[in-house]
């Protein structure tokens, strides 16, 4: 390879040199080299620093002519070329040649860009859990065409024929740890967005979600629809119910669509907001709404059922709701849920 580079540097014919450059990269592609090897060979051939950058992952590779990673501060590129895959620009290649570009630099970069696109298509992204948030956001966006979504998913490492499920999480644990637990088998990708962490996976084990993490799980539909469902389900999570599947919400999911002003103006929700000033009463009502049973609520709170009965009687008077009646219990459950959704 070095001998070929030396011979190319001695060529006087631009056409013959261009043919040699094409043959040089054809050889590299037949050897199925990776991106660092491509950049290393290109730097040796060009006798200056060569660089490769992938937009999706933010990965940057700079190699010096001696075959080692370039340690000098980046210089303004003397020549650049886009890396394109399926008509989408996925990255850039460049040379940092001091002085004027060489007559063969354009051909060299063109072939380097083609070879880099082939490497990305062949090997895909690194098998890591954390992904570029911009790429993840593109994959779950409702405002892009399906071709762009398919490209984003492919760059994330997902096969086109596999369904994607999305999980929205609130977690103090690193997202890569949560992702590895809910999907021990690859592929799984995670990224933080503005309001929640996002996990994308083809298979999912919600039982692997660790304690202290709240998670909303979307269905195995299109990624954008699954993301919307996951975000809605996340709003319904509580300390007592930290994991919610959107499919389990049923008609309760409609509560998330009620305008906040309408919910705040509802008499039952206003009463729950007043009750929230007494955490003990709120916890008692929550336990009773979760179980629908005095004895089960007492077990949850480690109290005698008679104590729970007295509390609920007082809470019912405060709310203006008969909690012993099925209709009253339903009203309390809906009002408590609607009040919680106001905080999300």
What does the pLDDT look like over 181-230, one tens digit per residue? 888 766 789 999 978 999 999 888 888 899 999 999 999 889 999 999 99
Highest-confidence segment of 10-24, 88-102, 173-187? 88-102
Give the per-residue pLDDT at 325.
93
pLDDT digits (tens, 9 = 90+) for 315-324: 999 999 999 8
pLDDT at 16 over 90: no
Give the per-residue pLDDT at 127.
55
Give the per-residue pLDDT at 8.
47
Domains of the chain: 2-123 (3.30.450), 133-249 (no CATH), 258-341 (1.10.10.2840)
Closest among 168, 232, 176 to 206, alpha carbons compared = 168
pLDDT digits (tens, 9 = 90+) for 143-161: 999 888 988 898 888 877 7
Residue predicted with more confidence, 177 or 266? 266
Give the per-residue pLDDT at 61.
94
Give the per-residue pLDDT at 85.
78
Is the Cβ–Cβ distance between 163 and 219 less than 8 Å? no
Each as own residue / partner, the long-range contacts of residues 149-156 (CB below 8 Å, 24 or more positions apart, any chain) are 149/222, 149/223, 149/224, 151/85, 151/86, 151/88, 152/56, 153/223, 154/124, 155/56, 155/57, 155/90, 155/120, 155/124, 155/125, 156/56, 156/125, 156/131, 156/187, 156/189, 156/200
pLDDT at 300 over 80: yes
* Mean predicted confidence (pLDDT) in 95-122: 91
């Amino acid at each position: 390879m070095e001998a070929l580079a030396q011979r190319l540097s001695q060529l006087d014919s631009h056409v013959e040199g261009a043919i040699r450059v094409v043959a040089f990269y054809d050889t590299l592609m037949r050897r199925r080299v990776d991106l660092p090897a491509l950049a290393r060979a290109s730097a040796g051939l060009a006798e200056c620093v060569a660089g490769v950058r992938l937009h999706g992952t933010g990965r940057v590779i700079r190699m010096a002519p001696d075959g080692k990673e370039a340690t000098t501060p980046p210089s303004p590129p003397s020549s650049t070329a886009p890396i394109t895959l399926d008509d989408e620009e996925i990255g850039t290649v460049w040379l940092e040649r001091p002085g004027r570009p060489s007559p063969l630099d354009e051909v060299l970069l063109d072939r380097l860009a083609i070879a880099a696109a082939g490497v990305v298509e062949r090997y895909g992204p690194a098998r890591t859990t954390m992904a570029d948030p911009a790429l993840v956001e593109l994959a779950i966006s409702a405002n892009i065409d399906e071709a762009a979504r398919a490209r984003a998913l492919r760059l994330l490492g997902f096969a086109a024929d596999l369904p994607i499920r999305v999980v929205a999480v609130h977690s103090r644990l690193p997202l890569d740890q949560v992702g590895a637990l809910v999907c021990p088998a690859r592929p799984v990708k995670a990224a933080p967005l503005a309001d929640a962490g996002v996990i994308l996976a083809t298979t999912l084990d919600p039982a692997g979600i660790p304690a202290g993490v709240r998670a909303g799980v979307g269905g195995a539909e299109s990624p954008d629809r699954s993301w919307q469902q996951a975000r809605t389900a996340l709003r319904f999570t509580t300390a007592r119910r930290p994991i919610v599947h959107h499919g389990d919400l049923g008609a309760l999911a409609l509560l998330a669509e009620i305008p906040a002003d309408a919910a705040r103006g509802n008499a039952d929700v206003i009463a729950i907001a007043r009750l929230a000033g007494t955490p003990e009463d709120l916890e008692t009502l929550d336990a009773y709404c979760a179980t629908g049973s005095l004895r089960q609520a007492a077990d949850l709170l480690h109290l005698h059922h008679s104590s729970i009965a007295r509390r609920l009687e007082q809470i019912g008077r405060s709310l203006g709701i008969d909690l012993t009646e099925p209709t009253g219990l339903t009203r309390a459950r809906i009002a408590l849920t609607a009040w919680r959704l106001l905080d999300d």
